[in-house]
Amino acid sequence: MASRLPSQQELQQLLNLGISRAHATKGLQTQNFSVSQAIDWCLKNPESIDVSDNLVQSLREIGFSETHARNALLLNENSLERATDWCLAKSSSPGDAEGKK
């Protein structure tokens, strides 16, 4: 793996595609800073994010379903604040905010 950090310009191209900064950095470093190869690498090697059960429980206590909470945390990299905002923005029916699985 390369020892330098990617430039902001290199990173931005991957970030614009929705790839996280950490995953984009790893992709660029493993692919010798080739943006197109890094994009391919990131898509072929999806970032695994372990959703925190404690954070899921926090969202369930607010009233969101377990599925809604897990999706929100996954999409927002375990950020409780961003996941809460996402849940509020994506709640389209009362069932979304109930504590059902």
Q: What's the whole-model pTM score?
A: 0.50
The CA-atom distances, in angstroms, between 8 and each of 1, 64, 86 are: 19, 37, 27
Q: What is the 3-state secondary structure (H, E, C) of 28-60?
A: HHHCCCCHHHHHHHHHHCCCCCCCCHHHHHHHH
The pLDDT value recorded for residue 99 is: 42
Q: What is the pLDDT of residues 74-99, one digit of tens each?
A: 778 889 999 999 899 987 543 444 44
Q: pLDDT for 20-39, tens place per residue?
A: 888 999 999 999 999 999 99
Reported as a pLDDT band with limits 50, 70 and 90, residue 2 is: low
